[in-house]
Amino acid sequence: MAVDQRLIEELALSLDEYHLIVERLGREPTEVELGMFGALWSEHCGYKNSKPLLRLLPNTGPRILTRMGGENAGAVDIGDGLCVVMKIESHNHPSAIEPYQGAATGVGGIVRDIFAMGARPIAILDSLRFGPLSDRRNRYLFDGVVGGIGGYGNCLGIPTVAGEVCFADAYSANPLVNAMCVGVARIDDLMPGGAKGPGNLVMLVGADTGRDGIGGANVLASRVFDESSAELRPTVQVGNPFLEKLLMEACLEIAEKYPDWVVGIQDLGAAGLTSSSVEAAERAGTGIEVDVSLAPRREKGMTPYEVMLSESQERMLVFVKPEHEEDVRRLFQHWELRSDVIGRVTDDGCARVRDGDQEVARAPVTVLTTPPEYRRQGEEPAYLERLQSYDLASLPDLTDPPAALLRLLSSPEIADKRWVWRQYDHQVLTNTAVGPGSDAAVMRIKGTNKGIALTTDGNGLYCYLDPYAGGAIAVAEAARNVVCAGAEPLAVTDCLNFGNPEKPEVYYQMEQVVRGMAAACERLGTPVISGNVSLYNETNGDAVLPTPVVGMLGLLEDVGQRCPMAFQAAGDEVFLLGAGLEAAAATLAGSEYLREVHGLVAGRPQIDLDLEAGVQRTCLEAIQGGLLHSAHDCSHGGLAVALAECCIESGLGLEGSGLRVSGRQDAALFGEGQSRIVISCPPGRRGEIEALAGGYGVPFTHLGRAGGERLVIGDLLSVPVADLARAYREGLPRALQGR
């Protein structure tokens, strides 16, 4: 075909990339081939700007069962012949255009990645970013996204058990919607996603193919937004969770009862039939042939190009042994699902697409799946030196600590997210031991005494101010949260959300964030087993904050040893693991106090990974030794907010009138210095905990005793718990009403 510059641009390919395709094929590509290259060489499928950086992340360990990127999701051995399968992905651009369906189909896609591997999904988590709720459109996006996540997950019967919601101006036109799914399987039942065995059949199962979602992988995921982006609404998929429920149960039945009938299962996600078929062939080192005329369609007149690139939801490819074709077909009929053989596995390493007797595409699988990689040269953003050198000590200190605390508790960033998670069914399947609102969710592993702790974490402001430290903090805080629940951190799945990587400043942010994450993963022993990269998150040239989201898995050998975040009993002693109350102004860097009270984003966040490891080991060993009644991470809002949350959730106050603060009051109360955990224990256990902390070189501060009806911190602050709870509970609903 002649070079069609318009089509090349629509596919988010550069002219140089087009010429590289011609060179590798030895000829001009057909229209279908070009569409396939555009999808598979997109950032979403090909990771051409990020793969060189992703190799910096540690991805192996004694419990890791899969190679990062080698399967639909990552798998971790948790003992007793069981594994946990998990992955997180983004649906940012679709949600910006059509929030309900964008978020809903994001959930549907990540769930398919899990059950495609033969694992039963037991939990959904999310990580959401929006612009300020004072803006009507941001409230519309927020409401639609939350509705889409709840609507799809609830219909599937999978609990949404944890997550985070954050707000900043930079997300106003480009919300971030990251969805994570976690499943459990017997290791022996894990189902590969490869198209092994020449002669095996390619069966398309589930929904008919329509025109929804065409171009999603490249049009949405590989371009920045502007005023014309509303025209992209047809590229957003439409979901049917009830059909997906049937698809899930059918695929799990095959994996658990009839694994000898098939050689692999692969979901159809981004780039639809193109990516699912070609990537499955790549994994197995085979070829594949597909006849699009055999694919059932719900719209007339669809071209081979449209069929291959459609992102219609609720579809799977099943690679079936020929002798079991009728067995597999009957099983899907039992679940009221259509199944059609549309091709076969070949042995020549080529991907072929036919439309009946006509061949419309033919290319080597390895050429299709090997896009060029770009190792760019980043440049430190010009703003960094100015913001990092800002003299935070020059700011006026607190004059009314109680008012500042109530203001922070009622800010949407910190306020109770009950309005969100009450729209999610978080108890279905009866595995949820600790649900939303805690540092981490805890799920029982039925048939065992085990539990797993799950959380998502990330802070775009920290990464904006210091990408390296911000990346490390994202991993450290996620690990700290599962430790507070009583779990040993095991593994990470991540979603890296950035602007246009072709800009040197954005690439600098990406590289430094990944390096920081890698350092933290190495120090804390949490390899990255799966994930997603979402780039080009920009509107009219303005990028979102650099936002790595870390999904963390932790293991409890005994789920009965899970630890709550709230104070448990009057008279319990309360301590702080980590840096004490003599905080320097530097700990205000990137803090919610600085942003909310002073309208300022400045400073340089820092973390000591050796101290972090010591704090986490101290806390975990204390929980496992039965020494603690509660543990809560110190993060957004600093120590005062962490203590307030412990009080609010329990109804118990804190008598800390003996505390003395030297230096700045704002930093002591609201500084966000890292590596700190508030713990409580029965009277008489102090010595044992202090000895543990001393063994790891961890500072240890007595804060007071739980009890009473007020939160008292020295002579700085004395507020009724009822007032704290009111501010905390009412903050988000008031913001959603535009107040």
Active site residues: 44, 91
Region of 368 please: left (phi>0), alpha (psi -120 to 50) or beta: alpha
Nearest CA-CA partner of 163 in 426, 390, 347: 426
Torsional sign, CA 99, 104, 105, 111: positive
> Which residues lie closer than 8 Å to 507 by C-beta, 6 or more apart?
49, 376, 377, 378, 379, 501
Phi, psi of 91 (to 5 degrees): -140, 55
> Which residues lie closer than 8 Å to 542 by C-beta, 6 or more apart?
170, 173
Phi, psi of 181 (to 5 degrees): -130, 145
What beta strand segments (E) does 250-286 contain? 262-267
Torsional sign, CA 502, 508, 509, 510: positive
| CB-side neighbour CA atoms (13 Å) of 92 | 38
> Which residues lie closer than 8 Å to 59 by C-beta, 6 or more apart?
67, 68, 527, 528, 529
| CB-side neighbour CA atoms (13 Å) of 655 | 10
Phi, psi of 462 (to 5 degrees): -60, -45
Q: If you write DSSP's letter for every residue of 633-691 in order, what string do you get?
A: E--TTHHHHHHHHHHHHHS--EEETT----S-HHHHHH---SS-EEEEE-TT-HHHHHH
Alpha-carbon dihedral angle through residues 481, 486, 488, 491, given to the nearest 10 degrees? -40
d(CA 124, CA 22): 43
Residue positions counted in the chain: 739
Place of tokens 């840096």: 579
Tokens of 57: 């992340």
Would you say 332 and 295 are in contact if contact means Cβ atoms under 8 Å apart? Answer: no
Strands lying side by side in the sheet with 339-346: 262-267, 315-320, 201-206, 339-346, 287-291, 350-355, 358-364
3-state secondary structure labels for all residues of 360-409: EEEEEHHHHCCCCCCCCCCCCCCHHHHHHCCCHHHCCCCCCHHHHHHHHH
> Which residues lie closer than 8 Å to 13 by C-beta, 6 or more apart?
21, 34, 37, 38, 41, 218
Phi, psi of 74 (to 5 degrees): -95, 150
How far is CA 37 from each of CA 24, 312, 642, rounded to the nearest angstrom? 12, 19, 50
d(CA 109, CA 484): 30
What beta strand segments (E) does 569-639 contain? 573-577, 630-633
